[in-house]
Amino acid sequence: MLRQLCKSYPLCAKYSTSQLASKPTSRLQMLRNKLREDANSSMLVDTFGRYHTYLRISLTERCNLRCTYCMPANGVELSKKEDILKTDEIIKIAELFINEGVNKIRLTGGEPTVRKDIIDIVAQLKSIKGLETLAMTTNGITLTRQLPKLQRAGLDLLNISLDTLKPERFEKFTLRRGWMKVMASIDLAIQLGYNPVKVNTVIMRDFNDDELVDFVELTENKPIDLRFIEYMPFSGNEWNTEKMVSFTEMKQIIRKKYPEFKKLPDKPNDTSKAYHVPGFVGQVGFITSMTNNFCSSCNRLRITADGNLKVCLFEGKGEVSLRDALRNNATTDDLRTLIHNAVLNKKKQHAGMLNLSHMENRPMILIGG
């Protein structure tokens, strides 16, 4: 039994068998308590041995598109301006997490580029010692006029969301025009040397599943890492199993045209499963949150635009307000304890797609990608 426990809790290797076996009826709790002691004095590690080195920060709840999987049909009630994190609060929170071992930050929204001080935020974050990678996920609508400045400020990686290659379908899905602007942003990112440019595509049945092969062919001559995302349930997006196209089905569709479509090695903590068509410049990834989750290697935490820490994208309850703690003059040690305790309460995995569809959670636009 002890060996089985240690497979689930890799950090137990540092403790002797006699230590862990001293109280046979409470081995699991003892091991968790040991890990809690370690976590309180070191990196952001949960009771399942997962080190958290990747922080996603939502800069705003506002967006210039109305994508149906993200924005409920009847809209959302946005937070008051004063409830959104200020720039100095974002930097303070980022510094806290970087000091606890985070080395990658991704800026999300809403749409992060609608925030007027986005260039300044990127520059300030990039100047923090210990941050290795600064990334951003954007819909690309205004990116062509911002990307050169963002790159000079220190933006390392870029994900651009695009769910269709058909302009008329884009307008129907987003309730806005702008398909050409997004395509121009992808081309500019390639010209500026982002390699790869990641393109995020949520696949939905009877909406864009007929474009899977067309999207794959974008990678033939361009350094694009195309990422097909299984449709996920959030409050107000009318998710159901009939709309979701699974990872397995997507592969089957692609292999009808490209039977040589093959697996590539994945890196530790990758959220996507990498594939490519031999001879193509770019590659394809599948983010399989619903049918083949990657919770066991999750190293991600999220800060919402209103300053809440979410330890799991699908955790509807249990958010912790770092904004309130900051504004109530919490000390650095108080904030560290708040963060560590939240991480220690992270569950082993999410509840599964059928359960998630009935659980309370924010709409995606209020979480951040």
Residue 35 falls inside a structural domain: no
Average pLDDT over residues 212-233: 94
Task: Give the pLDDT confidence score for residue 349 in this predicted structure.
Answer: 63
Q: Per-residue pLDDT tens for 302-352?
A: 999 999 999 987 676 778 999 999 999 999 999 999 999 999 989 886 545
Task: Give the pLDDT confidence score for residue 77 in this predicted structure.
Answer: 82
Residue 126 falls inside a structural domain: yes
Range(s) of the domain holding residue 355: 43-366
Task: Give the pLDDT confidence score for residue 296 in this predicted structure.
Answer: 82
Q: Per-residue pLDDT tens for 130-169?
A: 999 999 999 999 999 999 999 999 999 999 999 999 999 9
Strands (E) in the chain, as ranges, are 54-58, 104-108, 133-138, 157-161, 197-203, 224-230, 262-263, 272-276, 283-287, 300-303, 308-310, 320-321
Average pLDDT over residues 222-239: 80
The number of C-alpha atoms within 13 Å of 328 and in the hemisphere containing its C-beta is 8
Q: Residue 297 — pLDDT band, cuts 50, 70, 90?
A: confident
Per DSSP, the residues of 280-302 read -SSEEEEE-TTTS--GGG--EEE
Residue 270 falls inside a structural domain: yes
Residues 6+ apart with CB under 8 A from 67: 161, 163, 173, 174, 202
Residue 12 falls inside a structural domain: no
- Considering only residues 104 and 6, tell me which one the structure prediction assigns the higher pLDDT: 104
Task: Give the pLDDT confidence score for residue 240 in this predicted structure.
Answer: 73
Rounded Cα–Cα distance for residues 327 and 349 (Å) = 32
Chain position carrying tokens 């290697």: 297
Residue 6 falls inside a structural domain: no
Residue 55 falls inside a structural domain: yes
Instruction: Tell me which residue of 280, 277, 275 sits closest to 263, measured CA to CA.
Output: 275
Task: Give the pLDDT confidence score for residue 355 in this predicted structure.
Answer: 47
Rounded Cα–Cα distance for residues 327 and 83 (Å) = 11
- Residue 275 DSSP SS3: strand
Structure tokens at 52: 């958290």
> For residues 85 and 110, is the Cβ–Cβ distance under 8 A?
no
Residue 102 falls inside a structural domain: yes
Residue 22 falls inside a structural domain: no
For 224-261, b where at least 16 C-beta lie within 10 A, e where not — what string?
Answer: bbbbbbbbbbbbbbebeeebbbbbebbbeebeeebeeb
Q: Residue 136 sits in a domain of what CATH number?
A: 3.20.20.70
> For residues 195 and 215, is the Cβ–Cβ distance under 8 A?
no
Instruction: Tell me which residue of 268, 293, 275 sits closest to 353, measured CA to CA.
Output: 293
Rounded Cα–Cα distance for residues 193 and 166 (Å) = 26
Compute CA distances 32 → 26, 40, 320, 335, whole Å. Answer: 10, 12, 21, 22
Task: Give the pLDDT confidence score for residue 279 in this predicted structure.
Answer: 98
Q: Per-residue pLDDT tens for 36-58?
A: 555 445 589 999 999 999 999 99
Look at the chain and report how many structural domains it folds into. 1
Per DSSP, the residues of 304-318 read -TTSEEESSTT--S-
Compute CA distances 69 → 8, 65, 163, 201, 230, whole Å. Answer: 34, 11, 11, 11, 11
Structure tokens at 57: 């920060």
Q: Residue 307, preceding bond cis, omega within 30 degrees? A: no
Whole-prediction pTM: 0.85
